[in-house]
Structure 1
Amino acid sequence: MDTQLEEFADYAIKYAVNSGVQYCDARAEEQERKSTLIENGQTEYVRSVNDSGIGIRLVKDGTWSFCSITNPKSNEQIKNAIDESIKNSTHHAKNKKEQFSLYPNSAINKKIDYPILEKPELEKLIKIGMECDKIISDTSKIIKSVVNPWYTNNSKYFTSSEGSQILQNFSDVVIEMIATAHESGLTQSVNITEGGRGGMEQITNKAQKSAQNITKKASELLSAKPAKEEKATVVMNPDFVSLLTHEILGHPSEADRVLGKEMAWAGGAWWKGRLGEKIGSEKLNVFDDPTIKESLGWYHFDDEGVETKKTTLVKEGVLKNHMQNRETAKTFNVTPTGNMRATNYRFMPLIRMACTCIGNGDWNVDEMIKEVKSGYLISNMKIPSIDMKRYNWSISCQYAQKIDNGEVTDLLRDVIVMGTAPEFFQSIDACGNDFTVRPITNCGKGDPMQSMIMGNGGPSIRGTATVKSVN
């Protein structure tokens, strides 16, 4: 972190306090991002972007205001931005009905360097990308390979009027791949994302194996059958479960959505007002955990300086908690959970998932399948479609397989899985022992929309849902 950027953030706090604000925090951030896009053996681009700036939140007359400055050059810039923010707060305070209150937070002074085993470098990134592209492109029936590896080096400094000064330095390495096969007028695509918080070790070897898997499956899907529509027993693999968890358990657990304060992008909560009630079977345990190392949702302090911890959201089917910031925690009379995050310094932080998962079970997956007389094995996430309360849901999978008398049989293409949240979660009767965390790189929330990276995961789970073909 450029020491001058830290000094600007410290000056912002000092000036805001001297201007009579009730509260102020500043986030100074630097990011270096390097990426490449490879399609069918050709490098479409190699991109390098550097970004730095400061985001400043403050409360004056009980009203929040926010400003950001890209690549600030002087204290005068900081002063002018804060003056304007104070004017905005004072103006809008006239219409404010609720009293401002924040859950108390300890002053923290800490520097954290997240571990990296192998430093990310562009040349290494391109090499792995080209290897994966060759694996995909050299396979018969494959008509298009798309490989997008990228990494970021990040430095985030948080300081507040309460005395916190927290510096976190970390890197993220990710590779996104798509294999598209075509034959006799039919086209099938399979994609995968690999990566995590750390260095090149997050994708080395893992990416090549995944490239082989998606290529093989895309080709096989050309001869797969469509599914007939029926309500049936389904066994969902961890990759599919991660998206299901994200959409139907994670987003409704964000307290601002529960309170109806953030409704953009299908932003309601189907279990509003149901804390302490049974919302799923006794097999259902759900948590959010920013302390899971190497996941894209791993961090020690959130964007309002709250130390992170594992939060139980659902225990044995009973709704126990929501994800809270310091303001909503006062409303619910609980402690903050460390889930306040912004895409970068340009945005106000929102309550966001870190690494939301269904808890591991004790079932061997093969045994889960053997007990199914007639059903489906659902594999890998694709596209969700959710109503405003996240009550009615449908999620397409990349492929499925029929289960007949405990045996996995026909491969199926273009499959959608549908249900209602309470009915499906009540139907879960088995959770596997194959818990896996998957990287999510494009979660949208807020207005203006913020795209966020995080982890989601779980084991294989068994329940009841409607299965049908897209066509």
Structure 2
Amino acid sequence: MDTQLEELTDYAIKYASDSGAQYCDVRSEEQERESVLIENGETEYVRTINDSGIGIRLIKDGTWSFSSITNPKSKEQIKKAIDEAVKNSVHYAKNRKEQFSLYPNPSIKKKIDYKVLQKPNLDELIKIGTMCDKIISDTPKIIKSVINPWYTNNSKYFVNSEGSKILQSFSDVVIDMIATAHEYGITQSVNITEGGRGGMEQIINKDKAQNSAQKIAKKASELLSAKPAKEEKATVVMNPDFVSLLTHEILGHPSEADRVLGKEMAWAGGAWWKGMIGEKIGSEKLNVFDDPTIEESLGWYNFDDEGVETKKTTLVEEGVLKNHMQNRETGQIFNVAPTGNMRATNYRFMPLIRMACTCVGNGDWKVDEMIKEVKNGYLISNMKIPSIDMKRYNWSISCQYAQKIENGEVTDLLRDVIVMGIAPEFFQSIDACGNDFTIRPITNCGKGDPMQSMIMGNGGPSIRGTATVKSVN
């Protein structure tokens, strides 16, 4: 972290307090991002972006206000931003009817450097990206390969008026890949994202990127001769990649306390299980948690953007709704401690309650045993596109491919498949969870107004339940 940026951050806290703010926190951030886009053997671009700035959040007259500054250079810029924020709070406080307070949080002073085994390197990213592109392009019937490797080096300094000073430095390395096949008027695409928090080891270890490139290219080609699915309600066995998006959409988002309270209803929706803490919402096989302490996932961090230390939070235990994800404000409303889930895309935005690494808990079933018991059903593989109602009650999620299960055997490959369900009915139908727990990287979760895109982890094991399956066409 640049010394001048740190000094301006510390100054902002002092000036805000001197200006009469009841509370203030300041996040200064620096990010270096390098990325490359490779399509069909051609490098479309190599891009480097450096960004730094300060986000200032304060309470004056019981009302929040926020201001941000890109690449600040002087105390005068800080003063101007805080003066404007204080003025806004005073103005909007006149019409504010509700009062709020923050759940107590200890003062923390800490510096954390997250584990990086192999420093991110653009030349190495290009090399890996080129290899993956060749693997995909050389596969029969492939007409397009798109490879987008990228990394970020990040430094985040958090200070608040309660005495906390927390500096966190970390790197993320990710590769996005799409393989598109075409023949006889039919086009099929399969995509995958690999990577996590750390260095080049996130995509180099065990040739993870190359193996994934080979798998998606092969599957895209095979899907050209796959069958559509007939519509029926049946037993489904969902693989961990599909479960990660299912978890994200119908377990993670409705667990965010701001949605539960209806604070996001206007632009992002609410939660169907509002007021149901302690009630049974699924089968006893269903266990769900959010855990920012899982190392190497894209949701790994030790302190959130309110300076709250992270921990594993049980959301659902044996089918019973136990907790929501909380910030300091909602924690006071629910009379529970904040869970460390307050995050912003960067310094330009107010933080929101966000998933870190929300997962369905592991089970003890072998996947082949789960399949063997199915007389008529489907093996659902890999996430695609979700469509969920405002309260996360009715849902449909398309998968990249599926396979028919007949008398315990996996048979026909199926394309263009959508899986649909009603949240409580589906949760109640879950009768088996596999022992193949996997965390997948999510790089584009949107929430808020203005919209913020966030990276995180989601995951779980293979799960078995009942849902409606049909073809897109």
TM-score, length basis structure 1: 1.00
Query: Shift of residue 100 of structure 1?
Result: 2.3
Residue 207 of structure 1 corresponds to: 209
CA contact (8 A) 1:35 1:149 kept: yes
Query: Shift of residue 99 of structure 1?
Result: 1.4
Matches for 1:311-326 after TM superposition, within 5 Å: 311-326=313-328
Residue 295 of structure 1 corresponds to: 297
CA shift digits 1:275-297 (9 cap, x unpaired): 11000000000000000000000
Query: Shift of residue 265 of structure 1?
Result: 4.9
- Work out the CA distance in 2 between the residues paired with 1:242 and 1:385: 15
Residue 226 of structure 1 corresponds to: 228
CA contact (8 A) 1:266 1:389 kept: no
Residue 417 of structure 1 corresponds to: 419
1:242 to 235, 241, 244: 244
| Residues 382, 265 of structure 1: alpha-carbon distance in 2 compared, 3 angstrom cutoff | farther
Query: Shift of residue 266 of structure 1?
Result: 3.6
Query: Shift of residue 379 of structure 1?
Result: 0.1
Residue 31 of structure 1 corresponds to: 31
Residue 95 of structure 1 corresponds to: 95
CA contact (8 A) 2:386 2:395 kept: yes
Q: Secondary structure at the match of 1:95?
A: coil
Residue 268 of structure 1 corresponds to: 270
- Work out the CA distance in 2 between the residues paired with 1:187 and 1:266: 32
| Residues 358, 405 of structure 1: alpha-carbon distance in 2 compared, 3 angstrom cutoff | same
Q: Secondary structure at the match of 1:279?
A: coil
- Work out the CA distance in 2 between the residues paired with 1:348 and 1:266: 16
Matches for 1:35-50 after TM superposition, within 5 Å: 35-50=35-50
Residue 197 of structure 1 corresponds to: 197
| Residues 175, 265 of structure 1: alpha-carbon distance in 2 compared, 3 angstrom cutoff | farther
CA shift digits 1:404-441 (9 cap, x unpaired): 00000000000000010000000000000000000000
CA shift digits 1:50-73 (9 cap, x unpaired): 000000000000000000000001
Query: Shift of residue 264 of structure 1?
Result: 5.2
- Work out the CA distance in 1 between the residues paired with 2:302 and 2:70: 25
The one-letter code sitting in structure 2 at the alignment partner of 1:463 is G
CA contact (8 A) 1:266 1:386 kept: no
Residue 11 of structure 2 corresponds to: 11
- Work out the CA distance in 2 between the residues paired with 1:250 and 1:35: 29
Query: Shift of residue 98 of structure 1?
Result: 1.4
The one-letter code sitting in structure 2 at the alignment partner of 1:159 is V
Query: Shift of residue 321 of structure 1?
Result: 0.3
The one-letter code sitting in structure 1 at the alignment partner of 2:118 is E
1:342 to 344, 359, 362: 344
Q: Secondary structure at the match of 1:6?
A: helix
CA contact (8 A) 2:341 2:354 kept: yes
Instruction: Using the TM superposition, name which of 265-274 and 333-342 deviates more.
Output: 265-274
2:378 to 376, 397, 412: 376
Residue 159 of structure 1 corresponds to: 159
Residue 121 of structure 1 corresponds to: 121
Q: Secondary structure at the match of 1:203?
A: helix
Residue 81 of structure 1 corresponds to: 81
CA shift digits 1:224-274 (9 cap, x unpaired): 000000000000000000000000000000000000112355421011111
The one-letter code sitting in structure 1 at the alignment partner of 2:415 is R
- Work out the CA distance in 2 between the residues paired with 1:266 and 1:212: 37
CA contact (8 A) 2:178 2:192 kept: yes
Residue 431 of structure 1 corresponds to: 433
Residue 60 of structure 1 corresponds to: 60
- Work out the CA distance in 1 between the residues paired with 2:18 and 2:49: 36
- Work out the CA distance in 2 between the residues paired with 1:367 and 1:139: 32
- Work out the CA distance in 1 between the residues paired with 2:3 and 2:431: 54
CA shift digits 1:32-88 (9 cap, x unpaired): 000000000000000000000000000000000000000001000000100000000
Residue 148 of structure 1 corresponds to: 148
- Work out the CA distance in 2 between the residues paired with 1:399 and 1:3: 51
CA contact (8 A) 1:136 1:179 kept: yes
- Work out the CA distance in 2 between the residues paired with 1:254 and 1:8: 33
CA contact (8 A) 1:54 1:70 kept: yes
2:281 to 276, 279, 282: 279
CA contact (8 A) 1:266 1:387 kept: no
Q: Secondary structure at the match of 2:94?
A: helix
- Work out the CA distance in 2 between the residues paired with 1:161 and 1:343: 22
CA shift digits 1:282-314 (9 cap, x unpaired): 000000000000000000000000000000000
- Work out the CA distance in 1 between the residues paired with 2:193 and 2:16: 43
The one-letter code sitting in structure 2 at the alignment partner of 1:320 is K
CA contact (8 A) 2:258 2:264 kept: yes
CA contact (8 A) 2:183 2:224 kept: yes
Residue 355 of structure 2 corresponds to: 353
Query: Shift of residue 96 of structure 1?
Result: 1.0
- Work out the CA distance in 1 between the residues paired with 2:190 and 2:267: 25
Q: Secondary structure at the match of 1:283?
A: coil
CA contact (8 A) 2:234 2:466 kept: yes
Matches for 1:448-463 after TM superposition, within 5 Å: 448-463=450-465
- Work out the CA distance in 1 between the residues paired with 2:164 and 2:245: 35
Aligned residues: 471
The one-letter code sitting in structure 2 at the alignment partner of 1:408 is V
CA contact (8 A) 1:113 1:168 kept: yes
- Work out the CA distance in 2 between the residues paired with 1:227 and 1:11: 62
The one-letter code sitting in structure 2 at the alignment partner of 1:229 is E
CA contact (8 A) 1:157 1:168 kept: yes
* CA RMSD across the alignment: 0.5
CA contact (8 A) 2:268 2:448 kept: no
Percentage of identical aligned residues? 87
Q: Secondary structure at the match of 1:287?
A: strand
Mark the runs of 5 or more structure 2 residues left unpaired by the alignment: none
- Work out the CA distance in 2 between the residues paired with 1:200 and 1:298: 16
1:442 to 441, 444, 454: 444
